[in-house]
Chains A and B, each alone.
Chain A
Amino acid sequence: MINTMPHFIFLIALILLFIAMILVLIRLYKGPTLYDRVLSTNSFGTHTVLFIGVLGFLSDRPDFLDIALLYALINFVATIAILKFFRYRAIGDVLIKRELKK
């Protein structure tokens, strides 16, 4: 009993995380403004990190945690890049310098 119990717990956690991801996706689809969508994307990334971690524990392969760490890194950079693009309309720093001089 006590050996199958962890799998059961992780399965429940996985299902709950999956439902949460779907709810966030609904907000991503409905979101009236751009910033709602960026917020949902960021939140979805956090959910994905947790999802990958729990999946690794469920399948007894904790190597998945490396992928989760990598996904957290990429998610942060992606959010900042999207926001920077929408504020300055460029990813590089040429336009920012011009704006600061104004």
Chain B
Amino acid sequence: MNFLYDITQLIAWALILLGSVMVIIGALGSLRFPDFWSRLHAASVTDSGGVILLLLGMGIHSGFNLITFKLFLIGAFLFITGPTSSHAVANAALVSGAKPSKKNQNEIGDEG
């Protein structure tokens, strides 16, 4: 029983660390990418992968109680509102006339 507990804790720690790395990769992407349209995608890495892994890790760490329910609620809420606000920002940029630049298309060649 104790052994099983240790295994779940190890999985939880791995998920938390992986989630934090995912979040920092998303932030790094939003700093490195050249224009607005590609930065949207970098923010989406944080919004989906980082949130899933971190909340899942914290949920496994805390066991099954009211805290898990709250984490689930936060996750469900972020899952509905994250894409919505992403879409709102993209749509507002499109309406205001910020068309995606042709400069970065096919820049490296057709290996993508």
List residues of chain A with CB under 8 Å of any chain B CB: 2, 5-6, 9-10, 12-13, 16-17, 19-21, 23-24, 26-27, 33, 35-36, 38-40, 42-43, 46-47, 49-50, 53-54, 57, 62, 65-66, 68-69, 72-73, 76, 79-80, 83, 86-87
Closest B residue to A19 by CB, please name it.
B24
Q: A40-B30, A43-B30, A50-B23 are in contact. Are A68 and B62 (CB under 8 A)?
A: no
Contact yes or no, A79 B13, CB < 8 A: no
Q: Scan B1-32; emit 1 where CB is below 8 A from any A CB, else 0.
A: 00000100100010011011101101110110
Is B56 part of the binding interface, using a Cβ–Cβ cutoff of 8 Å?
A: no
What is the bound-complex CA distance between A99 and B28, given in angstroms? 39
Min distance, Cβ A78 to any Cβ of chain B, angstroms: 9
* Chain B interface residue count, Cβ-Cβ cutoff 8 angstroms: 47
Contact yes or no, A79 B70, CB < 8 A: no
What is the bound-complex CA distance between A57 and B62, given in angstroms? 9
Contact yes or no, A46 B13, CB < 8 A: no
Contact yes or no, B19 A72, CB < 8 A: no
What is the bound-complex CA distance between A19 and B93, given in angstroms? 28
